[in-house]
Amino acid sequence: MKQWRPTPSTVWQGRDDTAEADNALRLFQTITCSSTFSPAQQPGDIALLGFACDEGVKRNHGRTGAAQAPTVLRRALANMASHAEHRRLSDVGDVVIEQTDLEQAQQALREAVLACQRAGKRTLVLGGGHETAWGHGLGVLDAFPQEKVGIINLDAHLDLRSAPQATSGTPFRQLARHCTAQQRDFRYACCGLSMAANTQALLDEAAYRNVTIVEDMQCLSAPLEAIAQLEQFMADLDRIYLTIDLDVLPAWEMPAVSAPAALGVPCAILLQLLAPICRSGKLQAVDLVEFNPSRDREGHGAGVAARLAWQVIRWWG
Ligand SMILES: N=CN[C@@H](CCC(=O)O)C(=O)O
Ligand SMILES: [Mn+2]
Ligand SMILES: [Mn+2]
């Protein structure tokens, strides 16, 4: 596998409580790593894959640093309790970018995701900027060519930009065009959207693409209605690709992103939205993107992001 590196064993470390009881286990003690890219050989049905890249954020004039996120998020996950559901997780390493060749890195991610999915795994990708979604989404679409695959993006932004080259702001425009070229329906929901952070041009593009939009204000004032909208979106799908842009959270909870949200959807409400998606029986792929450790405060953002990943694994039916 090109443009790939294994996770060093030093990353998965934590507090050892096994002197208290055999089942006093944390993730660092239950996760498996491999020195080669070999998803079919690794145990469990959730493959953890890093995408160490922020070239898309750079091209989108954002604050870089997300390339370091996969390692920092693994470290934050390492010391969290490992319950039965977490034993399904194995670490298949990182896809890395060479110099500034984003397109090549996204293609490598696409191939790594496809290999994991073909090996019967579901994929949990730790980005990277939101350019992660172009590679991850393609890999999932490739794996299920005959099925109705829907994308749920928890994000303040639509990321439907039109640009001469791929950025962190273009992945869903790229996936929409790809679906059209493949004569597939583009099924896309953006939940947590800030009207203040998306121009009318982007909203027009969303309307043209028949995108389901659930605004941040709706999530805050009527979470049950927001859930109902998501359930309606999911009803007609075979598989779901869930992408969580951490800038959907408020800046006070998640300062460690390129574009912090002044309002945002707090983690406690986001978890209410996540539960029915995770338990739908259709969830095939999840990523957490845009985490930027260089902007974190005392590791609090990493803790919030890791808790979201931990909870997704626990609920993933
Ligand atoms: N993935 C990032 N998307 C946002 C960033 C917005 C900003 O930097 O303010 C976007 O392009 O709209
Ligand atoms: Mn965003
Ligand atoms: Mn985004």
- Cα dihedral: 82, 84, 90, 91 (round 10): -20
- Return the half-sphere exposure (C-beta side, CA atoms, 13 A cut-off) of residue 234: 25
Question: What ligand is nearest to the CA atom of residue 168?
Answer: 1
Share of the chain above pLDDT 70, in %: 100
Pocket test for ligand 1, best of 54, 55, 60, 203 (most atoms within 8 A of CB): 60
Enumerate residues with CB within 5 Å of ligand 2 (an ion).
155-157, 245, 247
Number of structural domains found in the chain:
1
Q: Is the pLDDT of residue 284 over 90?
A: yes
Residue 102, pLDDT score:
98
pLDDT of residue 2: 84
**ipTM for this prediction:** 0.98
Q: Which atom of ligand 1 is nearest to the CA of 161?
A: 11
Average pLDDT value over all residues in the chain: 98
Confidence bin at 317 (pLDDT 50/70/90)? confident
Domain that holds residue 173: 4-315
Do the annotations mark residue 16 as ligand-binding? no
Around ion ligand 3, residues with a beta carbon closer than 5 Å are: 130, 155, 157, 159, 245
pLDDT for residue 250: 98
Cα separation of 80 and 6, whole Å? 21
Ligand 1 interacting residues, C-beta cut-off 6 A = 60, 62, 130, 157, 159, 161, 168-169, 258-259
* Residues in a beta bridge with 212: 189
Distance, CA of 103 to CA of 312 (rounded, Å):
29
- Check which CATH number belongs to the domain holding 11 and give it: 3.40.800.10
From the CA of 247, how far away is ligand 2's center (Å)? 5
Segment 146-173 mean pLDDT: 98
Provide the pLDDT for residue 305: 98
